[in-house]
Structure 1
Amino acid sequence: MSAVGVIIQARTGSTRLKNKILIPFYQDQGILEILIDKILHGLTGTPIVLATSTGEENDILADLAARKGINCFRGDEANVLKRFIEASRHYKITGAVRICADNPFLDAHYLSQLVNYAEAHEEFDYISFQLSDGRPTIRSHHGFFAEFVQLSALRKVQTVTTEPSYLEHVTNYIYENPADFNIKWLPAPSVVSNRLDIRLTIDTEDDFKSAQEILKLLGKAPLQISLNEIIDVVDRHPMLITKMEGQIKANEK
Protein backbone atom coordinates (compact mmCIF):
# COMPACT_ATOMS: atom_id res chain seq x y z
CA MET A 1 0.00 0.00 0.00
CA SER A 2 1.28 3.42 -0.95
CA ALA A 3 2.31 5.71 1.93
CA VAL A 4 1.43 9.21 0.75
CA GLY A 5 3.20 12.16 2.34
CA VAL A 6 3.64 15.86 1.62
CA ILE A 7 7.11 17.17 0.82
CA ILE A 8 7.54 20.95 0.83
CA GLN A 9 10.50 22.12 -1.23
CA ALA A 10 12.08 25.15 0.46
CA ARG A 11 15.28 27.16 0.81
CA THR A 12 16.18 30.70 1.85
CA GLY A 13 18.64 31.43 -0.94
CA SER A 14 16.36 32.78 -3.67
CA THR A 15 18.36 35.00 -6.01
CA ARG A 16 15.45 37.27 -7.00
CA LEU A 17 13.97 37.88 -3.55
CA LYS A 18 16.13 36.61 -0.71
CA ASN A 19 14.26 35.07 2.23
CA LYS A 20 10.99 35.50 0.33
CA ILE A 21 9.33 32.65 2.23
CA LEU A 22 10.21 34.19 5.62
CA ILE A 23 9.47 37.89 5.06
CA PRO A 24 6.24 38.85 6.91
CA PHE A 25 3.47 38.37 4.37
CA TYR A 26 0.30 38.40 6.47
CA GLN A 27 0.55 39.96 9.91
CA ASP A 28 3.76 38.43 11.32
CA GLN A 29 3.64 35.23 9.27
CA GLY A 30 5.84 34.45 6.29
CA ILE A 31 4.69 32.51 3.23
CA LEU A 32 6.18 29.21 4.39
CA GLU A 33 4.45 29.33 7.78
CA ILE A 34 1.14 30.19 6.11
CA LEU A 35 1.60 27.27 3.73
CA ILE A 36 2.41 24.84 6.54
CA ASP A 37 -0.68 25.95 8.49
CA LYS A 38 -2.83 25.46 5.39
CA ILE A 39 -1.52 21.92 4.87
CA LEU A 40 -1.89 21.01 8.54
CA HIS A 41 -5.45 22.31 8.52
CA GLY A 42 -6.45 20.54 5.30
CA LEU A 43 -4.64 17.19 5.56
CA THR A 44 -5.08 15.77 9.04
CA GLY A 45 -2.89 12.72 9.56
CA THR A 46 -0.81 13.05 6.38
CA PRO A 47 2.96 13.12 7.05
CA ILE A 48 4.54 16.47 6.17
CA VAL A 49 8.24 16.94 5.46
CA LEU A 50 10.07 20.20 4.88
CA ALA A 51 12.91 19.33 2.49
CA THR A 52 15.68 21.90 2.51
CA SER A 53 19.45 21.89 2.05
CA THR A 54 22.29 21.34 4.50
CA GLY A 55 23.51 24.95 4.19
CA GLU A 56 23.55 26.80 7.52
CA GLU A 57 21.45 29.60 6.03
CA ASN A 58 18.56 27.11 6.10
CA ASP A 59 18.88 26.39 9.83
CA ILE A 60 16.03 28.85 10.31
CA LEU A 61 13.77 26.65 8.16
CA ALA A 62 14.58 23.60 10.25
CA ASP A 63 13.72 25.63 13.35
CA LEU A 64 10.38 26.65 11.83
CA ALA A 65 9.57 23.03 10.97
CA ALA A 66 10.28 22.00 14.56
CA ARG A 67 8.12 24.84 15.89
CA LYS A 68 5.21 23.82 13.64
CA GLY A 69 5.56 20.15 14.56
CA ILE A 70 6.44 18.82 11.11
CA ASN A 71 9.38 16.74 9.89
CA CYS A 72 12.48 18.23 8.30
CA PHE A 73 15.00 16.65 5.94
CA ARG A 74 18.20 18.35 4.85
CA GLY A 75 19.96 17.27 1.70
CA ASP A 76 21.69 18.37 -1.47
CA GLU A 77 21.24 22.05 -2.42
CA ALA A 78 21.44 21.70 -6.22
CA ASN A 79 20.31 18.11 -6.74
CA VAL A 80 16.73 18.48 -5.58
CA LEU A 81 15.77 15.13 -7.13
CA LYS A 82 18.26 13.39 -4.83
CA ARG A 83 16.95 15.40 -1.88
CA PHE A 84 13.37 14.29 -2.59
CA ILE A 85 14.34 10.64 -2.95
CA GLU A 86 16.36 10.66 0.27
CA ALA A 87 13.62 12.53 2.18
CA SER A 88 11.03 10.01 0.97
CA ARG A 89 13.17 7.05 1.99
CA HIS A 90 14.01 8.55 5.38
CA TYR A 91 10.36 9.12 6.28
CA LYS A 92 9.08 5.96 4.53
CA ILE A 93 7.04 7.90 1.98
CA THR A 94 6.35 5.93 -1.20
CA GLY A 95 4.30 8.63 -2.91
CA ALA A 96 5.09 12.33 -2.47
CA VAL A 97 2.81 15.33 -2.87
CA ARG A 98 5.31 17.95 -4.00
CA ILE A 99 4.61 21.52 -2.86
CA CYS A 100 6.71 24.58 -3.65
CA ALA A 101 7.22 26.87 -0.66
CA ASP A 102 6.62 30.08 -2.61
CA ASN A 103 2.89 29.54 -3.24
CA PRO A 104 0.89 31.27 -0.47
CA PHE A 105 -2.40 30.73 -2.29
CA LEU A 106 -2.11 26.96 -2.67
CA ASP A 107 -5.74 25.83 -2.67
CA ALA A 108 -6.55 23.44 0.17
CA HIS A 109 -9.58 21.93 -1.60
CA TYR A 110 -7.60 20.84 -4.66
CA LEU A 111 -4.72 19.69 -2.46
CA SER A 112 -7.13 17.33 -0.66
CA GLN A 113 -8.55 16.20 -3.99
CA LEU A 114 -5.07 15.33 -5.23
CA VAL A 115 -4.16 13.41 -2.08
CA ASN A 116 -7.44 11.47 -2.08
CA TYR A 117 -7.04 10.55 -5.74
CA ALA A 118 -3.44 9.44 -5.24
CA GLU A 119 -4.37 7.26 -2.27
CA ALA A 120 -7.14 5.60 -4.29
CA HIS A 121 -5.09 5.07 -7.47
CA GLU A 122 -1.70 3.60 -6.66
CA GLU A 123 -1.19 2.57 -10.28
CA PHE A 124 -0.20 6.08 -11.40
CA ASP A 125 3.43 7.25 -11.33
CA TYR A 126 2.46 10.90 -11.58
CA ILE A 127 -0.77 12.82 -11.00
CA SER A 128 -1.30 16.51 -11.59
CA PHE A 129 -3.83 19.07 -12.70
CA GLN A 130 -3.77 20.14 -16.34
CA LEU A 131 -4.76 23.36 -18.09
CA SER A 132 -6.98 23.39 -21.15
CA ASP A 133 -3.98 23.86 -23.46
CA GLY A 134 -2.45 20.62 -22.19
CA ARG A 135 0.28 22.00 -19.98
CA PRO A 136 0.69 20.83 -16.38
CA THR A 137 -0.35 23.44 -13.85
CA ILE A 138 3.18 23.27 -12.42
CA ARG A 139 4.30 24.89 -15.69
CA SER A 140 1.90 27.79 -15.17
CA HIS A 141 2.42 30.77 -12.88
CA HIS A 142 -0.74 30.15 -10.86
CA GLY A 143 0.63 28.78 -7.61
CA PHE A 144 -2.71 27.12 -6.75
CA PHE A 145 -1.86 23.43 -7.22
CA ALA A 146 0.46 20.67 -6.02
CA GLU A 147 1.55 17.52 -7.88
CA PHE A 148 1.95 13.86 -6.89
CA VAL A 149 4.79 11.52 -7.80
CA GLN A 150 5.69 7.97 -6.79
CA LEU A 151 9.12 7.39 -5.26
CA SER A 152 9.65 4.61 -7.81
CA ALA A 153 9.22 7.14 -10.63
CA LEU A 154 11.77 9.50 -9.07
CA ARG A 155 14.23 6.63 -8.75
CA LYS A 156 13.70 5.84 -12.41
CA VAL A 157 14.48 9.42 -13.38
CA GLN A 158 17.63 9.25 -11.27
CA THR A 159 18.85 6.20 -13.22
CA VAL A 160 18.22 7.57 -16.72
CA THR A 161 19.43 11.19 -16.61
CA THR A 162 22.06 13.43 -15.07
CA GLU A 163 20.85 16.53 -16.92
CA PRO A 164 21.13 19.38 -14.37
CA SER A 165 17.70 20.81 -15.21
CA TYR A 166 16.05 17.47 -14.40
CA LEU A 167 17.95 17.21 -11.12
CA GLU A 168 16.79 20.69 -10.13
CA HIS A 169 13.20 20.42 -11.41
CA VAL A 170 12.08 17.16 -9.85
CA THR A 171 9.17 16.10 -12.07
CA ASN A 172 9.98 17.67 -15.45
CA TYR A 173 11.50 14.52 -16.92
CA ILE A 174 8.38 12.53 -16.07
CA TYR A 175 5.82 14.65 -17.88
CA GLU A 176 8.24 15.40 -20.73
CA ASN A 177 8.56 11.63 -21.34
CA PRO A 178 4.97 10.43 -20.90
CA ALA A 179 5.52 7.15 -22.75
CA ASP A 180 7.84 5.99 -19.97
CA PHE A 181 5.44 6.63 -17.08
CA ASN A 182 1.82 6.03 -16.11
CA ILE A 183 0.48 9.57 -15.88
CA LYS A 184 -2.96 10.80 -14.84
CA TRP A 185 -4.11 14.32 -15.64
CA LEU A 186 -6.90 15.83 -13.57
CA PRO A 187 -8.71 18.77 -15.21
CA ALA A 188 -7.96 22.11 -13.62
CA PRO A 189 -11.10 23.93 -12.45
CA SER A 190 -12.77 25.81 -15.30
CA VAL A 191 -12.28 29.19 -13.63
CA VAL A 192 -8.51 28.91 -14.24
CA SER A 193 -8.14 26.20 -16.89
CA ASN A 194 -7.54 28.69 -19.69
CA ARG A 195 -6.08 31.54 -17.64
CA LEU A 196 -2.52 32.27 -18.71
CA ASP A 197 -2.62 35.78 -17.21
CA ILE A 198 -2.58 34.77 -13.54
CA ARG A 199 0.67 34.79 -11.57
CA LEU A 200 0.55 34.13 -7.84
CA THR A 201 3.74 32.17 -7.35
CA ILE A 202 6.22 34.42 -5.56
CA ASP A 203 9.65 34.99 -7.10
CA THR A 204 10.13 38.76 -7.05
CA GLU A 205 9.32 41.77 -4.91
CA ASP A 206 6.60 42.77 -7.41
CA ASP A 207 5.01 39.30 -7.05
CA PHE A 208 5.11 39.68 -3.28
CA LYS A 209 3.45 43.10 -3.36
CA SER A 210 0.73 42.00 -5.79
CA ALA A 211 -0.15 39.02 -3.59
CA GLN A 212 -0.30 41.24 -0.51
CA GLU A 213 -2.57 43.62 -2.40
CA ILE A 214 -4.98 40.75 -3.09
CA LEU A 215 -4.97 39.87 0.61
CA LYS A 216 -5.80 43.45 1.49
CA LEU A 217 -8.65 43.62 -1.04
CA LEU A 218 -10.16 40.37 0.25
CA GLY A 219 -9.76 41.37 3.89
CA LYS A 220 -9.35 37.74 4.98
CA ALA A 221 -6.60 35.52 6.32
CA PRO A 222 -4.88 33.33 3.67
CA LEU A 223 -6.26 30.19 5.33
CA GLN A 224 -9.80 31.37 4.56
CA ILE A 225 -9.30 32.33 0.92
CA SER A 226 -10.43 30.11 -1.97
CA LEU A 227 -9.22 30.00 -5.55
CA ASN A 228 -12.58 31.33 -6.80
CA GLU A 229 -12.41 34.36 -4.51
CA ILE A 230 -8.93 35.20 -5.76
CA ILE A 231 -9.94 35.02 -9.42
CA ASP A 232 -13.00 37.15 -8.69
CA VAL A 233 -11.03 39.92 -6.99
CA VAL A 234 -8.32 39.86 -9.68
CA ASP A 235 -10.91 40.20 -12.45
CA ARG A 236 -12.47 43.17 -10.65
CA HIS A 237 -9.11 44.96 -10.51
CA PRO A 238 -7.57 45.00 -14.01
CA MET A 239 -4.37 46.65 -12.79
CA LEU A 240 -3.56 43.43 -10.96
CA ILE A 241 -3.78 41.52 -14.24
CA THR A 242 -1.53 44.08 -15.91
CA LYS A 243 1.08 43.65 -13.16
CA MET A 244 0.87 39.87 -13.36
CA GLU A 245 1.22 39.81 -17.13
CA GLY A 246 4.35 41.94 -16.81
CA GLN A 247 5.83 39.53 -14.29
CA ILE A 248 4.86 36.50 -16.41
CA LYS A 249 6.71 37.99 -19.38
CA ALA A 250 9.75 38.76 -17.24
CA ASN A 251 9.81 35.32 -15.57
CA GLU A 252 8.58 32.97 -18.31
CA LYS A 253 9.02 29.28 -17.45
Structure 2
Amino acid sequence: MKRTIAVIQARMGSSRLPGKILEPLHDDVSLLAYQCRRLRRIEGVDELVIATTQARRDNVIAALAKAEGIRVCRGSERDVLSRFVLAADMTLADTLVRITSDSPFRDPDVIARCVAEHQAHGAEYTRPEAGHLPKGLRAEIVETRVLRQIDGDGATTDREREHVTIKVRENPDAYRCLTLAFPEALHHPEYDLSVDTAAELDFVRMIHSSLEARGWPVDTGHICALLAEIAPARSAQQGSAS
Protein backbone atom coordinates (compact mmCIF):
# COMPACT_ATOMS: atom_id res chain seq x y z
CA MET A 1 0.00 0.00 0.00
CA LYS A 2 1.27 3.48 -0.86
CA ARG A 3 2.40 5.68 2.02
CA THR A 4 1.42 9.33 2.06
CA ILE A 5 3.40 11.63 4.35
CA ALA A 6 2.75 15.28 5.16
CA VAL A 7 5.96 17.29 5.51
CA ILE A 8 6.17 20.66 7.23
CA GLN A 9 9.25 22.53 6.05
CA ALA A 10 10.47 24.70 8.92
CA ARG A 11 13.48 26.76 9.90
CA MET A 12 14.16 29.62 12.30
CA GLY A 13 15.88 31.82 9.71
CA SER A 14 13.70 34.51 8.15
CA SER A 15 14.88 37.73 6.56
CA ARG A 16 11.95 39.84 7.79
CA LEU A 17 10.73 38.09 10.94
CA PRO A 18 13.35 35.69 12.37
CA GLY A 19 11.95 32.94 14.57
CA LYS A 20 8.40 33.72 13.48
CA ILE A 21 7.21 30.11 13.61
CA LEU A 22 7.84 29.94 17.35
CA GLU A 23 5.94 33.16 18.04
CA PRO A 24 2.69 32.48 19.91
CA LEU A 25 -0.55 32.38 17.94
CA HIS A 26 -2.58 32.30 21.15
CA ASP A 27 -1.70 31.78 24.81
CA ASP A 28 1.62 29.86 24.79
CA VAL A 29 0.90 27.90 21.58
CA SER A 30 3.34 28.80 18.79
CA LEU A 31 2.47 28.99 15.10
CA LEU A 32 4.35 25.74 14.47
CA ALA A 33 2.91 23.86 17.46
CA TYR A 34 -0.61 24.96 16.49
CA GLN A 35 -0.07 23.73 12.94
CA CYS A 36 1.33 20.40 14.13
CA ARG A 37 -1.68 19.80 16.36
CA ARG A 38 -4.12 20.64 13.54
CA LEU A 39 -2.41 18.44 10.97
CA ARG A 40 -1.25 15.42 12.93
CA ARG A 41 -4.37 13.56 11.80
CA ILE A 42 -5.41 14.04 8.18
CA GLU A 43 -7.60 11.50 6.44
CA GLY A 44 -5.52 9.64 3.87
CA VAL A 45 -2.19 10.75 5.37
CA ASP A 46 -0.12 8.17 7.25
CA GLU A 47 2.23 10.46 9.16
CA LEU A 48 3.18 14.08 9.76
CA VAL A 49 6.89 14.97 9.94
CA ILE A 50 8.93 18.16 10.20
CA ALA A 51 11.80 18.75 7.78
CA THR A 52 14.22 21.29 9.24
CA THR A 53 17.91 22.10 8.82
CA GLN A 54 21.11 20.99 10.50
CA ALA A 55 21.81 24.53 11.69
CA ARG A 56 22.21 24.89 15.46
CA ARG A 57 19.49 27.53 15.64
CA ASP A 58 17.01 24.92 14.40
CA ASN A 59 17.63 22.66 17.40
CA VAL A 60 14.58 24.34 18.97
CA ILE A 61 12.46 23.06 16.09
CA ALA A 62 13.72 19.53 16.67
CA ALA A 63 12.89 19.93 20.36
CA LEU A 64 9.37 21.14 19.51
CA ALA A 65 8.86 18.16 17.20
CA LYS A 66 9.91 15.79 19.99
CA ALA A 67 7.56 17.49 22.45
CA GLU A 68 4.69 17.14 19.94
CA GLY A 69 5.51 13.48 19.24
CA ILE A 70 6.41 14.17 15.60
CA ARG A 71 9.44 12.79 13.78
CA VAL A 72 11.95 15.29 12.46
CA CYS A 73 14.26 15.13 9.44
CA ARG A 74 17.27 17.46 9.27
CA GLY A 75 19.11 18.43 6.12
CA SER A 76 20.36 21.32 4.00
CA GLU A 77 19.19 24.84 4.81
CA ARG A 78 19.09 26.12 1.22
CA ASP A 79 18.42 22.88 -0.66
CA VAL A 80 14.87 22.33 0.55
CA LEU A 81 14.25 19.78 -2.21
CA SER A 82 16.92 17.49 -0.75
CA ARG A 83 15.24 17.81 2.65
CA PHE A 84 12.00 16.48 1.18
CA VAL A 85 13.83 13.57 -0.44
CA LEU A 86 15.47 12.80 2.93
CA ALA A 87 12.05 12.91 4.60
CA ALA A 88 10.70 10.51 1.98
CA ASP A 89 13.64 8.16 2.58
CA MET A 90 13.12 8.29 6.34
CA THR A 91 9.38 7.57 6.16
CA LEU A 92 9.30 5.33 3.06
CA ALA A 93 6.87 7.80 1.51
CA ASP A 94 5.45 7.28 -1.98
CA THR A 95 3.49 10.54 -1.90
CA LEU A 96 4.30 13.78 -0.11
CA VAL A 97 2.15 16.67 1.04
CA ARG A 98 4.20 19.87 1.07
CA ILE A 99 3.36 22.26 3.91
CA THR A 100 5.10 25.51 4.77
CA SER A 101 5.40 26.40 8.45
CA ASP A 102 4.41 30.07 8.13
CA SER A 103 0.71 29.38 7.46
CA PRO A 104 -0.92 28.16 10.69
CA PHE A 105 -4.45 27.68 9.35
CA ARG A 106 -3.81 24.93 6.77
CA ASP A 107 -7.06 22.98 6.61
CA PRO A 108 -6.93 19.19 7.15
CA ASP A 109 -10.11 18.78 5.10
CA VAL A 110 -8.65 20.64 2.11
CA ILE A 111 -5.51 18.52 2.30
CA ALA A 112 -7.54 15.31 2.65
CA ARG A 113 -9.57 16.14 -0.45
CA CYS A 114 -6.43 16.92 -2.45
CA VAL A 115 -4.84 13.63 -1.36
CA ALA A 116 -7.95 11.61 -2.22
CA GLU A 117 -8.33 13.17 -5.68
CA HIS A 118 -4.60 12.85 -6.33
CA GLN A 119 -4.74 9.14 -5.66
CA ALA A 120 -8.02 8.58 -7.49
CA HIS A 121 -6.69 10.19 -10.68
CA GLY A 122 -3.19 8.71 -10.50
CA ALA A 123 -1.72 12.21 -10.58
CA GLU A 124 1.91 13.12 -10.06
CA TYR A 125 1.16 16.61 -8.77
CA THR A 126 -2.07 18.05 -7.37
CA ARG A 127 -3.08 21.50 -6.15
CA PRO A 128 -6.25 23.66 -5.94
CA GLU A 129 -7.10 25.73 -8.99
CA ALA A 130 -5.52 29.17 -9.07
CA GLY A 131 -7.63 31.72 -7.26
CA HIS A 132 -9.83 29.16 -5.51
CA LEU A 133 -8.48 29.52 -1.97
CA PRO A 134 -6.77 32.20 0.11
CA LYS A 135 -2.99 32.14 0.17
CA GLY A 136 -1.80 30.05 3.09
CA LEU A 137 -4.77 27.66 2.89
CA ARG A 138 -3.76 25.78 -0.27
CA ALA A 139 -2.18 22.34 -0.51
CA GLU A 140 0.36 20.62 -2.73
CA ILE A 141 0.59 16.86 -3.28
CA VAL A 142 3.52 15.39 -5.21
CA GLU A 143 4.84 11.91 -5.92
CA THR A 144 8.20 11.13 -4.33
CA ARG A 145 9.54 9.74 -7.61
CA VAL A 146 8.99 13.14 -9.24
CA LEU A 147 11.05 14.89 -6.57
CA ARG A 148 13.75 12.22 -6.84
CA GLN A 149 13.92 12.81 -10.59
CA ILE A 150 14.27 16.57 -10.12
CA ASP A 151 16.80 16.10 -7.32
CA GLY A 152 18.94 13.84 -9.49
CA ASP A 153 18.82 16.10 -12.54
CA GLY A 154 22.07 18.02 -12.93
CA ALA A 155 20.18 20.81 -14.68
CA THR A 156 18.04 21.54 -11.61
CA THR A 157 18.70 25.11 -10.50
CA ASP A 158 19.23 26.51 -7.00
CA ARG A 159 15.85 28.25 -7.33
CA GLU A 160 14.16 24.93 -8.12
CA ARG A 161 15.87 23.32 -5.12
CA GLU A 162 14.76 26.11 -2.82
CA HIS A 163 11.11 26.09 -3.96
CA VAL A 164 10.77 22.28 -4.26
CA THR A 165 7.82 21.99 -6.67
CA ILE A 166 8.34 25.04 -8.85
CA LYS A 167 9.81 22.96 -11.69
CA VAL A 168 6.58 20.97 -11.85
CA ARG A 169 4.39 24.07 -11.65
CA GLU A 170 6.30 25.80 -14.42
CA ASN A 171 6.35 22.71 -16.67
CA PRO A 172 2.86 21.20 -16.17
CA ASP A 173 2.88 19.42 -19.54
CA ALA A 174 5.83 17.30 -18.43
CA TYR A 175 3.90 15.76 -15.52
CA ARG A 176 0.44 14.37 -14.76
CA CYS A 177 -0.90 17.46 -13.03
CA LEU A 178 -4.33 17.81 -11.44
CA THR A 179 -6.02 21.01 -10.31
CA LEU A 180 -9.09 20.91 -8.09
CA ALA A 181 -12.07 23.26 -8.06
CA PHE A 182 -13.46 24.49 -4.75
CA PRO A 183 -16.81 26.21 -4.00
CA GLU A 184 -17.20 29.82 -5.11
CA ALA A 185 -17.50 31.00 -1.50
CA LEU A 186 -13.84 30.05 -1.05
CA HIS A 187 -12.59 31.95 -4.12
CA HIS A 188 -10.61 34.58 -2.23
CA PRO A 189 -7.03 34.76 -3.52
CA GLU A 190 -6.87 38.34 -2.23
CA TYR A 191 -6.70 37.04 1.34
CA ASP A 192 -3.29 36.02 2.67
CA LEU A 193 -3.04 33.90 5.82
CA SER A 194 0.73 33.36 5.67
CA VAL A 195 3.10 35.14 8.06
CA ASP A 196 6.24 36.98 7.00
CA THR A 197 6.00 40.23 8.95
CA ALA A 198 4.99 41.41 12.42
CA ALA A 199 1.81 42.90 10.95
CA GLU A 200 0.87 39.56 9.37
CA LEU A 201 1.51 37.84 12.70
CA ASP A 202 -0.89 40.26 14.38
CA PHE A 203 -3.41 39.58 11.59
CA VAL A 204 -3.49 35.78 12.07
CA ARG A 205 -3.74 36.27 15.84
CA MET A 206 -6.77 38.48 15.24
CA ILE A 207 -8.30 35.87 12.92
CA HIS A 208 -7.88 33.15 15.55
CA SER A 209 -9.30 35.24 18.40
CA SER A 210 -12.23 36.43 16.24
CA LEU A 211 -13.15 32.87 15.25
CA GLU A 212 -12.90 31.76 18.87
CA ALA A 213 -15.07 34.68 20.04
CA ARG A 214 -17.79 33.63 17.59
CA GLY A 215 -17.49 29.96 18.47
CA TRP A 216 -16.60 29.16 14.87
CA PRO A 217 -14.30 26.31 13.87
CA VAL A 218 -10.96 27.18 12.28
CA ASP A 219 -11.62 25.91 8.77
CA THR A 220 -11.44 27.43 5.30
CA GLY A 221 -15.16 28.18 5.03
CA HIS A 222 -15.39 30.01 8.34
CA ILE A 223 -12.13 31.91 7.75
CA CYS A 224 -13.44 33.14 4.39
CA ALA A 225 -16.77 34.11 5.96
CA LEU A 226 -14.99 36.01 8.72
CA LEU A 227 -12.71 37.83 6.28
CA ALA A 228 -15.67 38.77 4.07
CA GLU A 229 -17.22 40.34 7.17
CA ILE A 230 -14.19 42.22 8.50
CA ALA A 231 -12.14 42.99 5.38
CA PRO A 232 -14.37 45.90 4.20
CA ALA A 233 -14.16 47.44 7.67
CA ARG A 234 -10.37 47.09 7.73
CA SER A 235 -10.09 48.66 4.29
CA ALA A 236 -12.25 51.59 5.38
CA GLN A 237 -10.15 52.11 8.51
CA GLN A 238 -6.93 52.03 6.51
CA GLY A 239 -8.36 54.47 3.99
CA SER A 240 -9.40 56.96 6.68
CA ALA A 241 -5.98 56.74 8.32
CA SER A 242 -4.10 57.50 5.11
TM-score after normalising by structure 2: 0.89
CA distance in 2 between counterparts of 1:216 and 1:56 reads 33
Residue 167 (structure 1) aligns with: 161
Aligned-residue identity in percent: 28
- 1:125 matches 2:124: yes
CA distance in 2 between counterparts of 1:107 and 1:222 reads 17
- 1:34, CA displacement in angstroms? 0.6
Alignment gaps of 5+ in structure 2? none
Letter in structure 2 aligned against 1:173: K
Residue 105 (structure 1) aligns with: 105
Residue 182 (structure 1) aligns with: 176
- 1:162, CA displacement in angstroms? 2.8
CA distance in 1 between counterparts of 2:215 and 2:57 reads 27
Indicate how the Cα distance of structure 1 residues 44 and 155 shifts in structure 2: closer, same or farther if over 3 A, else same.
Answer: closer
* Greater CA drift, 108-117 or 232-241: 232-241
- 1:2, CA displacement in angstroms? 2.4
In the TM superposition, structure 1's runs of 4+ consecutive aligned residues that sit over 6 Å from their partners are none
Letter in structure 1 aligned against 2:165: T
- 1:196 matches 2:189: yes
Indicate how the Cα distance of structure 1 residues 221 and 148 shifts in structure 2: closer, same or farther if over 3 A, else same.
Answer: farther
CA shift digits 1:209-239 (9 cap, x unpaired): 1111122222259993121211122122224
Secondary structure of the corresponding residue to residue 224 of structure 1: coil
CA distance in 2 between counterparts of 1:43 and 1:33 reads 20
Letter in structure 2 aligned against 1:130: E
Alignment gaps of 5+ in structure 1? 245-253
CA distance in 2 between counterparts of 1:15 and 1:230 reads 28
Letter in structure 1 aligned against 2:8: I
Residue 24 (structure 2) aligns with: 24
CA distance in 2 between counterparts of 1:242 and 1:174 reads 40
- 1:116, CA displacement in angstroms? 2.4
Aligned pairs, number: 236
Indicate how the Cα distance of structure 1 residues 116 and 222 shifts in structure 2: closer, same or farther if over 3 A, else same.
Answer: farther
Residues 1-253 of structure 1 aligned to structure 2 (within 5 Å): 1-43=1-43, 46-121=46-121, 123-132=122-131, 142-158=135-151, 159=153, 161-193=155-187, 195-219=188-212, 224-237=217-230, 238-240=232-234
CA shift digits 1:146-196 (9 cap, x unpaired): 210011111222215331111100001001101211111111332233x23
CA distance in 2 between counterparts of 1:222 and 1:16 reads 33
Letter in structure 2 aligned against 1:127: T
